[in-house]
Amino acid sequence: MAQVQRMSRLMVKTLRDDPADAETLSHKLLVRAGYVRRNAAGIWTWLPLGKKVLDNISRVVREEMDAIGAQEVLLPALLPKEPYEASGRWEEYGDLLFRLKDRKGGDYLLGPTHEEVFTQTVKDQCTSYKDLPVMLYQIQTKYRDEARPRSGVLRGREFQMKDSYSFDTTDEGLAESYRLHREAYIKIFNRLGLDHRIVSAVSGAMGGSASEEFLAPAAAGEDTFADCPNCDYAANTEAVTFELKAVEETHPAAEDIATPDTPTIETLAAQLGVPASATLKNLLVKVDSEIVAVGVPGDREVDLGKLGEHLAPAVVELVTAEDFEGRDDLVRGYVGPQGLAKVRYIADPRVAPGTAWITGANKVDTHAKNVVAGRDFEVDDYLDVVVVEEGDPCPKCGTGLKLDRAIEIGHIFQLGRKYADTFGLDVLGQQGKPVRVTMGSYGIGVSRAVAALAEQSADDKGLCWTPEIAPADVHVVAAGKALQTELAVDVAEKLGAAGLRVLVDERPGVSPGVKFTDSELIGCPKILVAGRRAGDGVLELKDRRTGEREELTVDEAIARLTAK
Ligand code: ATP
Ligand code: MG
């Protein structure tokens, strides 16, 4: 079927200059090449070229989801409050949720993700173990009132997501549904041509593969991940663990030392002439209403997000001056774990049993040295709580980790029975008794993938799509003269008839320079130019990515472009 799009009739207005508000490459290029148009912060129109790319990605996603036996459905985006109230997310989502009222005053929301409604759907449709397992997906518009909807379609407030959900009666079944999704995602991202890494999203504590993210390395990414240059280890920085290893060393007895005016690690280290790493920093936090101390080496920062994950559902907050009232055991700036009998002490595994530290002596202007973990103080819980840094050892092979930026393009998650518990999702089991269903939830940022692909593949001339995703297979450019236009249109028709998707630039009165620049900016994988040698029936074929050029006759060009 011929698919020939004439540029003269295509609604596309390319821009020479970057939009003023654009920070990332994909944002600049997708606007400049006429793929998207901004309506409001994080709200975008997909123009004809952009819609084609978006649809191509959706098609690949659909094919691979169908291939694992997932069934496509379409749930509403406009949803009643009740299911989200039942799960607690009506409140938990806070400002991220778009809430609205209908004419009768009823509360509604625009769906940010659909676990609740899928659970209800399956509860309604599936009653017996024979109805399971089932995997359902949709490609749908999601709404999140993101705090920072920058970066164009990378982070929209309205965006396209493929979300799927698996329903099984056993943990093994869930593991299998998860595996199927993982495999499908790898195929999808490979077909899209997205360079990606699979990283564990949570630390080992929650059970290894229960949640993984698919990250596309890119400078514009908002996620940082740890990547081992030596082995296959890659993890979200929040999931990196440090091995707890006791050390066998003998240290002299702990002793207090006068350290006037040293309320910070920097002042202390400077006064004593030691590196900050020789000191033990004790951060006081409030866990729900209890004061807890967190010990980390003085040169490291506590990652409050990580700490929060470890202690959830308890809420972690920093202490305020009021919390010290009536607590003579807590001397601000001079806290040391050796004097904290009444306080729960959490430490990073770097504060291993046997290690010696300089730390607060629980007296103003005084520190203590040779304070040994396991001898002078006990650690109640060892938790990975420090901010991971470049060069930290790989938990798998010990090599120094690299930290890289990436875009989260997908997320797979073994949810378990959380939502099934909320909605009482049971099916009748083999023994005639009800069985609680276990679920998985799996997302792909379809619109975000457009931007991620643009980020990874663009060059200084513009966008540069892979064949599966490009708005057309070939962009035919007529340099300008009547003869050239005739040849360009003729070859375009023939390529279309041969089954290729063709964009042909036969715009009258547009200079060849502008047409060439536009063809590179728009980024179809092949550019075929009817130019200097059009009179001889010879065209120039250019590979958009490599820049390689060759002269071909019409027949040769068709043979070359239609060859599998
Ligand atoms: P992020 O940390 O980037 O906000 P998330 O963890 O909130 O992502 P999920 O809730 O797991 O994301 O959503 C599934 C997928 O949807 C993500 O992997 C991502 O690709 C995509 N996505 C999430 N938020 C947005 C957004 N605001 N704009 C575009 N795509 C998004
Ligand atoms: Mg988010």
CA pair distance 26, 23, nearest whole angstrom: 9
CATH architecture of residue range(s) 35-240+403-455: 2-Layer Sandwich (3.30)
Distances, alpha carbon 203 to alpha carbons 38, 52, 243, 395, 412, in Å = 38, 39, 12, 11, 15
The alpha carbon of 453 and the centre of ligand 1 are apart by a number of angstroms equal to: 16
Q: Closest Cα partner for 163 from 517, 504, 442?
A: 442
pLDDT given for residue 237 in this prediction: 87
pLDDT given for residue 345 in this prediction: 96
Strands 98-101 and 78-80: unpaired
Residue 203's pLDDT band, with cuts at 50, 70 and 90, is very low
Is residue 482 packed enough to be buried (19+ CB in 10 Å), middle (13-18) or exposed (0-12)?
exposed
Can you tell me which residue has the tokens 């514009």? 220
Looking at all shown ligands, the one closest to residue 150's CA atom is 1
Helices (H), 371-445: 418-423
CA pair distance 117, 139, nearest whole angstrom: 15
pLDDT top residue among 232 and 203: 232
Buried b (16+ CB within 10 A) or exposed e, 83-115: bbeebebbeebeeebbeeeeeeeeebbbbbbbb
CA pair distance 245, 374, nearest whole angstrom: 12
DSSP lists the bridge partners of residue 478 as 530
- How many Cα neighbours within 13 Å face the side chain of 423? 23
Residue 204's pLDDT band, with cuts at 50, 70 and 90, is very low
Mutate to test the pocket of ligand 1, among 408, 412, 441, 450 (most ligand atoms within 8 A of CB): 408
pLDDT given for residue 205 in this prediction: 42
On the question of pLDDT at 208 being above 50, the answer is no
Single-letter amino acid, residue 49: L
For ligand 1, atom 24, the nearest C-alpha belongs to 155
CATH architecture of residue range(s) 4-10+472-562: 3-Layer(aba) Sandwich (3.40)
Q: Is the CB of 447 under 6 A from ligand 1?
A: yes
On the question of pLDDT at 2 being above 80, the answer is no
CA pair distance 554, 352, nearest whole angstrom: 73
Can you tell me which residue has the tokens 């002042």? 267
Domain 255-382 has CATH 3.90.960.10: yes
CA pair distance 463, 442, nearest whole angstrom: 29
Please give the average per-residue pLDDT across 370-375, as a whole number: 95
Share of the chain above pLDDT 70, in %: 98
Helix (H, G, I), strand (E, B) or coil at 29: helix
Tokens representing 334 are: 């001079």
On the question of pLDDT at 1 being above 80, the answer is no
CA pair distance 38, 22, nearest whole angstrom: 11
Looking at all shown ligands, the one closest to residue 450's CA atom is 1
Q: Closest Cα partner for 27 from 405, 404, 455, 449?
A: 455
Please give the average per-residue pLDDT across 335-352, as a whole number: 92
Please say whether the beta carbons of 257 and 368 come within 8 A: yes
CA pair distance 325, 284, nearest whole angstrom: 14
The CB density around residue 379, as the number of other CB atoms within 10 Å, is: 20
Helix (H, G, I), strand (E, B) or coil at 486: helix
Q: Is the CB of 410 under 6 A from ligand 1?
A: yes
Residues of the chain with CATH 3.90.960.10: 255-382
Distances, alpha carbon 449 to alpha carbons 162, 182, 199, 541, in Å = 11, 17, 17, 28
Question: What one-character DSSP code corresponds to residue 373?
Answer: B
Residue 222 φ/ψ, nearest 5 degrees: -100, -5
Mutate to test the pocket of ligand 1, among 146, 223, 448 (most ligand atoms within 8 A of CB): 448
pLDDT given for residue 263 in this prediction: 79
Residues of the chain with CATH 3.40.50.800: 4-10+472-562
Structure confidence by residue, pLDDT tens digits, 119-145:
999 999 999 999 999 999 999 999 999
Strands 434-436 and 426-428: antiparallel
For ligand 1, atom 8, the nearest C-alpha belongs to 408
pLDDT given for residue 377 in this prediction: 95
CA pair distance 208, 196, nearest whole angstrom: 19
Listing DSSP states for 310-327 in one string gives HHTTSPEEE--GGGGTT-
CA pair distance 453, 461, nearest whole angstrom: 15
Residue 206's pLDDT band, with cuts at 50, 70 and 90, is very low
pLDDT given for residue 3 in this prediction: 87
pLDDT given for residue 74 in this prediction: 98
Helix (H, G, I), strand (E, B) or coil at 305: helix
Helices (H), 68-110: 82-87, 89-92
Please give the average per-residue pLDDT across 210-233, as a whole number: 92
Q: Is the CB of 144 under 6 A from ligand 1?
A: yes
pLDDT given for residue 209 in this prediction: 53
Q: Is the CB of 448 under 6 A from ligand 1?
A: yes
Structure confidence by residue, pLDDT tens digits, 467-508:
999 999 999 999 989 999 999 999 999 999 999 999 999 999
The alpha carbon of 142 and the centre of ligand 1 are apart by a number of angstroms equal to: 10
Determine the atom of ligand 1 nearest the C-alpha atom of 113. 10
The mean pLDDT value of the chain amounts to 94
Please give the average per-residue pLDDT across 36-65, as a whole number: 98
On the question of pLDDT at 154 being above 90, the answer is yes
CA pair distance 231, 216, nearest whole angstrom: 18
Tokens representing 502 are: 């063709």
Listing DSSP states for 118-145 in one string gives HHHHHHHH--BGGG-SEEEEEEEEEE--
Please say whether the beta carbons of 526 and 562 come within 8 A: no
pLDDT given for residue 339 in this prediction: 82
Can you tell me which residue has the tokens 């280290």? 269
